[in-house]
Structures are given as structure tokens and as C-alpha cells.
Structure 1
Amino acid sequence: MSAAETTTAKVPPMRPSKAPGAGAGTGGAGNRGKQRRTGGAALPWGLLAPCLLILLLVLGYPLVRLVTLSFQKFGQPQLWGFQEAESVGFANFTKILGDAEFWAVVVRTVVFAVGSVVLTMVLGMLIALLLQRVSGWVKTLINIALVASWGMPIIVATAIFKWLFDTDYGVLNWLLSRLPGVDMIGHNWFASGPQGLAVIMLLVVWGAVPFVVISLSAGLTQVPKELEEAARLDGAGSWGVFRYVTLPVLKPLLVMLTTLSVIWDMGVFPQVFVMRNGHPEAEFQLLTTYSYDKAFVVNDYGGGSAIALVTVVLLLGVVAVYMRQMLRIGEVE
């Protein structure tokens, strides 16, 4: 063995040594990762904080005040400061829950809301489906008309409907009287509660359909064309494609739109109030107008607050159903 070989064999192999501070660097990277994760979790709350604060101020205080008034005897003497507000416990709720008129208003409100929601969703879906079959310029014109009607102030829309259904000068009575054997001249649509509420329901549906149509039109663009073509190849007709392909894809959107429509339609106030010139008759009373009358016409602010709180509880039930449906959809996905 040569000297060179002997020297090479005796020299141990050099192991790569860690750079100074390498371990500290790794720990520092982990700490920075933890800091980033902590900062990332706090960032959304920081961005939402101004909005949450405004909501707390705008909605929190009125809600707390509503709950407080619903447990008090609060009328004009208390409003003007002549007497102190007196706590009455659940007396306001016992009074309204034992009133047959209140339950009649609840039933009327539920029927009105269900009818409005069904008409809104059906018409909205039909129009959205029809928009998928028209040319581009026709779709643009219809969308412009929908946005214009949606953006119209409620007071203006209500005034137009009052003119359309006017007893003496209503366009609808004149048009219907042009049909053979139909005489609607001088017909009063508000002589009975069901007819008048049907007119108000049409007004509510007219104002709600544009939002539903635009939302569903956007949702229909997300339905995979491949699934529709596969269903047609399997022999499914138009109804089969809609039922087994389109509806499942649109289900989350439909649940959201239906829930929002129920909340909005149960909270209808200006349409009824303006249509009846600020004094809705008993057969036109809904929960919102009934609460308003109790508070500001009868000056029973405690009873009106109790009715409003019951309405809030009913709407929270609708929201709970919505959240449950959305959680089920999320679990399936």
C-alpha cells in the first residue's frame, strides 16, 4: 500500500456540520408560522369589527329596548314622564296570546307570507329558465327592466298599484271590462279582505321577483352542461333534467332565497300601510301593522312591543330552519 493510500485511509470522513444558529433558525421559522397562524385568525375579526360594532349599535340597542318594553306597562303617561314604567312580567304576552284577534292576525300573516313566497319562487324560476332560452339582447333588456323595477321605491310602486286597481279610474277594471261578458267598472278590490290582500300580495311579489330571477339566473350558469347532456342521453325529458340535475345544483341557493323571502314577506309593512292610507282595516292587519297600531294608535307600547317580540321569535324559527338545511347540505357535500 502506498503512502498516499495509507494517508487517505486513515483520515476519517468529514461530516457536514450544522451552520451556526441552524437549530435556532428552525425554531424561529416555527414560531413565525405560529405567529402567522395567530395573526391570520385575528385578521378577519379585526376587519369585521367595525361592521359588528355598527350592527350592535343599530340593532342591539333597539332589540334590548324592545325586550324591556315587552315586560313593562308603558303608555302615554310613561312616555311623557308623568309616571314611571311599571314591570308587569309576562302580563303583556298573556294578554296577546289569549286574544283571538291576535291569532287571526298570525294566521293571516302566515297565509300571506306563504302565498307571496310560493308565487315569488315559482315566477322567479320560470322567468330565470326562460332567460336561458332567449337571445343575448333580449336577456339584456329583460335584466334592465328587472333591475329598474327592483330599484323602484316601495312608495312609488304602491302608488302605481293603487292607480291600477282604483275603483273609478283603475286600468285593470277597464281592461277586464273589455272582455266579453265581464263588467268590472266601479269594482272595489278592497271591499273585502281576501281580494285586497291578494292585490297587496301581487305588489309584494312584483317587487321581489327581480331579485329571485337575477339570483337564479346566476345559479343556472353553474349547472354543468355535461350532466344535462348525460341525462338527455339517458332518456330524461325537460322535466327530468330539471328535477334530477338542475334542482339539486340550485338547492342551496333556493333554500337561501326562500328563507329570505319568508323573512321579508312576514315583515311587510309599507305596502299595507300605504295601500290602506295609513289606517289598515281589521281584515288587512298583519303582524307588523297590528304591532304598530297597538303601540302608536292605542298607545299600548308594552303590548305592541310584545307582539313585535313574538314576530321576531317566529322569524328566528325560520332562520333556524334555514341554518339546519344549510348544515345538512354541507354534510352531504
Structure 2
Amino acid sequence: MTLTAPSPSTASVDVPPARRRNWAPYVLILGASLVLLLGMGYPVVWQIITSFQKYGALQQLGGKAPDFVWFANYISIAQNATFWEVTLRSVLFCIVTAAITVVVGVLMALLMTKVPAVVRFILQIALLLAWAMPVIAAMTVWIWLFDRRRGVVNYLLNLIPGVDVGQFNWIGTTPALFFTVAGIIIIWMSVPFVAFSAYAGLTQVSGEVLEASQLDGAGAWQRFRYVMFPVLKPVIAIVLLLNLIWDLRVFAQITLLQDAGPKSTDYDLLGTYIYKTGVAGFDYGAGAAMSIFVLAITIALSWFYVRSLIKEETS
């Protein structure tokens, strides 16, 4: 018997229909992308260009076109010992405040999972009010609390038997006390965000798993370390990164505290020092170069987080 292959004309071949590209997602994100490019891209490009120019008050008023000095501004700030002192102080400040903020925020989230519903509701409202309070209003209250003449802190301390602080100046005595007060204020303003984020993460922890681990003899610390923390780890990573970035660039709180106390560079962080150099000192070129340096630090911090996310996705 002879077998013959079917001719090409009679063979049936299933050809899948051509897939049509769905352009709707690209169209929907186009508007947001344009807003980001115009709203954030233009200032960054302007800062980069200005950092290579000699740009002072005369150029700002349009009296003379800025001259390109290329890397002169960067060389100048690299040789500025005060700038590096402020940078080191800012990095240490943001690390300490961000770490304390995350620890306190996670503890507040754990507390919200343990208290009754009514107490949890009151606590959440209090955190929300603290978070929503405008910076100017909050700083007005905090400066009044630490005021050396009519402050509540000095008043309450003087009520303690054997304690006489008098009219102690919490803001203007030493830089250490100044940044302690500033750290307390910034932590108070940032804890609600961390607490709400961590509480949302804790709601994803299985109650059955927690109950089973408790029946197996796991203590509170072991339940947190082996059951809760793996779920909270991505949340803690992102809120820690955001707080590091926010605290590195803090400006309003330090400026308002300086208005109520000392104004020397010993009490400056990067935000206030850049402002004094660039805007108040009319040296926009040097201020722009410092801003690009802070942007580089921010990108470096973000890159480590993005890289860790990529590793986790790959594994």
C-alpha cells in the first residue's frame, strides 16, 4: 500500500488570529506621564543647567545673562568644609529620626491590633489628626511648648520637687538640644504614616497562623519575628526609604525653629543651608549644585531599594 502526503492545497493549517495591541493603558497613563515630565522634569533640568552657571542676583533680575562656569560650582562646594559638616549632620539626623519613626510606628500598629475597637478608633483618629495638621500650625504649638518663658515643658518640669530648670532655652542652648527637639517634632509628624502602613500590613497576617504558633509555644517576640515580620518586611522597607528621603530634605521645621532660636550654620541641615546659600545668599549656581548633590544621594538610596526589590522578584 502506498501512502501519499496530502497536497498543500488540501492540508488544513490552524493559523492563530493576529493579536491586536491594546493601546488603552498607554493612553490612560500618557496624561500622568506628561504631568510628571513637565512638573518634575523641567525643574530638575533647570537645576542641572544652573549648577554649571554663575547665576546671582543680577542674572535673576535679568540684568545679565548667566555665564557658564561648568564644574566651578561643584569644585567650590567640594572644597567647602561647612557644606560637608552640614551634609554629615543631615545624614546622621535622617538615619536616626527615620529609624526611630519606623520603630515607634510599628509599635503603634501592633498596639492597634491588641486594643479594643473603641480604643483603636480613638487612637487612629488621634494619629490622623496629628498627620493632617499643617506644618505651620504644628510648629507654632511645638515652639510654644518649648518656649523658655511661657513654655509648657519648663512649667511642668519646674513643678517636679527638686527640679528647677527656670527659663531653660531648649532651642538655642546647644545644637544637640536643638536637633533633639527637631527630631521629636519630625518623628511626631511622621509616625502616623508608618503606623497606618504597618497596621494595613498586619491585617494581612493570618489569624489562624498566629493562633497555631501561640499554641505551639511561640512567645510574642517569636510570633512577631517569624510570622508578622515577613509580611511587614516590604512595608517597613518602603516606609523607611520614604522617611530617609523626607528627613534628609527636611526644611520647614528647621527653618521655623531657627526663626525662634539661633540662625548660625551650626543649626543647619542641607535644606536650610542650600536655601541660605542659593536664595538668601543670591548664589543660585552653588545652591543648584548642592541640590543636585542631594538628588544624587536620594537616587542612591532609592537604587538600593529598587535593587533589593529586583532581587526578591528574581528569587
> RMSD across aligned C-alpha pairs, in angstroms?
1.7
Aligned to 2:5: none
Query: Which amino acid letter does the alignment assign opposite residue 280 of structure 1?
Result: K
Q: Does 1:264 align with 2:246?
A: yes
Residue 285 of structure 1 corresponds to: 268
Q: CA deviation at 1:242?
A: 0.7
Give the aligned residue type for 1:57. Answer: L
Runs of 4+ in 1 over 6 A off after TM superposition: none
Asked if 1:206 is matched to 2:188, the reply is yes
Which of the numbers 80, 83, 99 marks the counterpart of 2:61?
A: 80
Task: Render the CA deviation track for 1:275-314: whole Å, top value 9, x for unaligned.
Answer: 2128732121111111111111211110000011100000
Letter matched to residue 92 of structure 2: V
What is the match of residue 114 of structure 2? Answer: 133
Partner of 1:294: 277
Query: Contact between 1:128 and 1:216, CA under 8 Å: does it hold in 2?
Result: yes
Aligned equivalent of 1:30:
17
Q: Distance in 2 between matches of 1:280 and 1:304?
A: 18
Q: Quick one: structure 1 residues 280 and 327, their matched pair in 2 at CA, closer, same or farther if it must change by over 3 Å?
A: farther
Distance in 2, Cα, partners of 1:70 & 1:58: 19
Q: Name 2:226's counterpart in structure 1.
A: 244
Separation (CA, whole Å) in 2 of partners of 1:184 and 1:218: 43
Q: Which residue of the partner structure matches residue 255 of structure 1?
A: 237
After superposition, residues 4-15 of structure 1 pair within 5 angstroms as none
Q: Could you give the per-residue CA deviations for residues 145-169 of structure 1, whole angstroms, max 9, x where no partner exists?
A: 1111111000100110000000100
The answer on whether the counterparts of 1:272 and 1:280 sit within 8 Å (CA) in structure 2 is: no
Matched, 1:53 2:34: yes
Q: CA deviation at 1:246?
A: 0.8
- Identify which of 159, 164, 179 aligns with 2:160: 179
- Report deviation, 1:330: 2.3
Looking at structure 1, the residues matched to 244 and 254 of structure 2 have their Cα atoms a distance apart, in angstroms, of 16
Distance apart, 1:331 and its partner CA: 3.0
Paired letter, 1:68: I
- TM-score by length of structure 2 reads 0.92
Aligned amino acid, residue 272 of structure 1: I
Q: How far does the alpha carbon of each residue in 1:311-331 deviate from its partner, in whole angstroms, 9 at most, with x for none?
A: 000000111011112223323
Q: Distance in 2 between matches of 1:140 and 1:81?
A: 56
Is the 1:113–1:262 Cα contact (8 Å) retained in structure 2?
yes
Deviation at 1:196, TM superposition (A): 0.8
Q: Return the letter of the residue paired with 1:324.
A: R
Take 1:326 and 1:302, find their aligned partners in 2: how far apart are those partners?
36
Report SS of the residue matched to 1:132: helix
Task: Compute the displacement of 1:30 (Å).
Answer: 1.4
Mapped to 2, the partners of 1:324 and 1:280 lie a distance apart of 40
* Separation in 2, partners of 1:240, 1:88: 59
SS at match of 2:286: helix
Aligned length: 302
What residue is the counterpart of 1:192 in the other structure?
174
* CA deviation profile, 1:195-247 (whole Å, cap 9, x unmatched): 01111111111111111111111110101223323333333211111111111
Structural mapping, 1:223-238, within 5 Å: 223-238=205-220
Aligned to 2:291: 308
- Aligned equivalents of 1:324 and 1:179: distance in 2? 52
Question: 1:109, 1:286 within 8 Å by CA — same for their partners in 2?
Answer: yes
Equivalent residues in 2 for 1:161-180, closer than 5 Å: 161-180=142-161
Is the 8 Å Cα contact of residues 228 and 241 (structure 1) preserved in structure 2?
Answer: yes
What TM-score, normalized to structure 1?
0.87
Question: What CA distance in whole angstroms lies between the structure 2 residues aligned with 1:77 and 1:284?
Answer: 29
> How far apart in 2 are the matches of 1:56 and 1:270?
26
TM-aligned CA deviation for residue 113 of structure 1: 0.4
Following superposition, the deviation at residue 80 of structure 1 comes to 2.0
Cα distance in 1, alignment partners of residues 25 and 241 from structure 2: 26
> What's 1:18 paired with?
none
CA–CA distance in structure 2, aligned partners of residues 135 and 229 of structure 1: 18
- 1:99-125, Cα deviation, whole Å (9 max, x unpaired): 110110001101110111011111101
Aligned 8 A contact 1:255 1:325 in 2: no
| Aligned 8 A contact 1:105 1:285 in 2 | yes
